[in-house]
Amino acid sequence: MTTAEIFETLRDSEISDIRSLLENKTILITGGTGSFGKAFATRILDLLSPKRLIIFSRDEMKQFDMQQEYPFRDNPRVRFFIGDVRDLSRLEIAFQDVDFVIHAAALKQVPTAEYNPFECVRTNILGTENVMTACLKNNVQKVIALSTDKACVPVNLYGATKLAADKLVVAANSLSGSRATRFSVVRYGNVLGSRGSVVPFFCGLRDQNKATLPITDARMTRFMISLPQAVDFVLSNLLMMRGGEIFVPKIKSFRIPDLAKAIAPNMEQEIVGIRPGEKMHEAMISLEDTRQTLDFGDRYVLEPISPYFERRSFTEDGYEFVAEDFEYSSHRNPHFLSMAELQNLLQKFGFTA
C-alpha cells in the first residue's frame, strides 16, 4: 500500500454517481466552519451544483471569515446559518427541505473534555440526539455522522461521548418508521494538519525556534488520514450506505517521534509523559467488533447488530467477515508511514519549513 494509494481521490465512476445523487439537492453540514466542514463544502462546489449548501455553526466570526473565501464569497448556492446543535428548535428550522446532512459538529479536544465534561456531553451526545431528531422530523434522506478512533474502546470522556453518539446514530434507523431517512457513521483517525492537531503544533514550535519538541511517549502511534481523503471517504460512503453502518478506512499508522523528526529533523525531542485521557495507541475496530466487521478491500464496514430495523446485509453482495482474532489498531497495523512518506506528505500539504 503506497502513500498515493491511501490518499487517492474518488474514482471517476464514484464522482459520476455522487453528482447524480447530490446534484440540485440541499446539503447541510453541522460544524461547517471547521477544518472538515470547509474542505467538504469546497469539494461539493468543485464537483457539482447543489440547490443549496448550508453551513451550520455557532461562531459568527468563523462564518464571516469563511464567507470571504473562494468558493463561498458571493455564491448564491451557499447559505450560512448560525445555530448550535444543542438547540433542537433551531435545528428543526435549519433542516427544513434539506436532503442530506453531514454531522461534523463536536467538542474534540481531549484535555478540554476532561476539564469540562458536561459541556462535552451536551454537545457530542445531546447535540447528536438533536440532529437525529431534526433529521427525522424533516424527512432528510441520508445522514452521515463523523466519528473518531477515540470512540473505539474509549479511555477518555471525548471518546466515550463519541461512542455514545455513534450508538445514537445507528439506533436512529430504528426510529425512521415509514420515513426513508437513513443514518450511518464514518470513523477515522488523526487528520493531517487539522486545526488543533499535532502537526501544526509541532510546526509552530519549530517556526518559533524552540529548543525541543515535546513527545508524550516514544512508543506512541496514531492513524493518519489527509483532509481530502477524509472528505472523499465520506462522499463515497454516502453513496454506499444502507443505514446503521460504521465505515472505517484502511489507512496507515505513524509513530509520533517519526513525525516530529520529519517536521523538525534538527530539534531535540523531550519526553514529557502521557496527558490525562490520552492513549498510547488508538484503535478503530476492537476484538469485540469483529463479529460485525466486513472487509471491503479499501475499507472495513461494521454492520449494525440491532434487529429493530430492516436492511439488506452486505454479505448478500459477497463481502465476508474478518477473522475472529482481527483487531484494527494503530500499533498492530501492518502499514506504517516511512520517514520519506511522512516528509512527502508534509511537503504536499504545506507543513515543511
User: Does the annotation mark 150 as catalytic?
Assistant: yes
**38, 108, 142, 150: the active-site residue:** 150
* 136 contacts: CB under 8 Å, gap ≥ 6: 172, 175, 176, 179, 181
Q: Which residue has the cell 473518531?
A: 148
One-character DSSP codes across 138-186: TT-SEEEEEEEGGGSS--SHHHHHHHHHHHHHHHHGGG-TTS--EEEEE
Beta strand 100-103 with 142-148 is: parallel
CB 157 within 8 A of CB 165: no
Paired strand residues for 321: 294
Q: How many CB atoms lie within 10 A of CB 85?
A: 26
Strand order in the sheet with 190-191: 190-191, 221-225, 253-255
Checking phi first, is residue 177 left (phi over 0); if not, alpha (psi -120 to 50) or beta?
A: left
Catalytic residues: 150
